[in-house]
Amino acid sequence: MSNIILLTHGDFSKGIAQSCRFILGEAANLIPLSITMETGIEEALGMLRDAVAKFDEKEPVIILTDIPGGSTTQAAVRVLGDRDNLYLVSGMNLGLLIELAVTEFDEDRAGNEELIREAVEQAKSNLMLISAAADGDVLEDDDEL
């Protein structure tokens, strides 16, 4: 079972965790954390460190944040040095969360990083523009007119 901490602006983390559980059941140990406009960086760091401490030190933990470069990611970067088996992925979506939730991680850092990279690439490849053509047919981004 994957250990995943979700750190987002507002209640996004709670909603995406609920959606993941709706689809997969309890396939992962998810801890949703939310920051607000009033949350300072030290408070966010404290929340993250408390969440990380809930997992066994030997087990890998993935921190997912919502916006690369955002305050959630900036806080998470500062926690990465706390343990050897912490991983940070930013720019979360439900497809990525599901992929990571069903992936089995172990103590092999290089292997875990490769699995995470594959999950990120899979999530990226599932992003597409779908629009309606003038005749009402639905076109995907790689369809020709």
- Where do the structural domains in the chain lie, given as residue ranges? 2-140
Q: Which CATH superfamily is domain 2-140 in?
A: Phosphotransferase system, mannose-type IIA component (3.40.50.510)
Tell me the per-residue pLDDT of 37-71, one tens digit each, with 9 for 90 and over.
999 889 999 999 999 999 999 999 999 999 999 99
pLDDT grade for 142, boundaries at 50, 70 and 90: low
Q: Determine the pLDDT at residue 143.
A: 58
Please, where are the H alpha helices in 80-129?
A: 94-101, 109-125
The number of C-alpha atoms within 13 Å of 83 and in the hemisphere containing its C-beta is 23
Q: Is the pTM of this model over 0.85?
A: yes
Strands 130-132 and 138-140: antiparallel
Q: Predicted confidence band at 145 (pLDDT cuts at 50, 70, 90)?
A: very low
In which region does residue 137 sit, left (phi positive, over 0), alpha (psi from -120 to 50) or beta (all else)?
Answer: beta
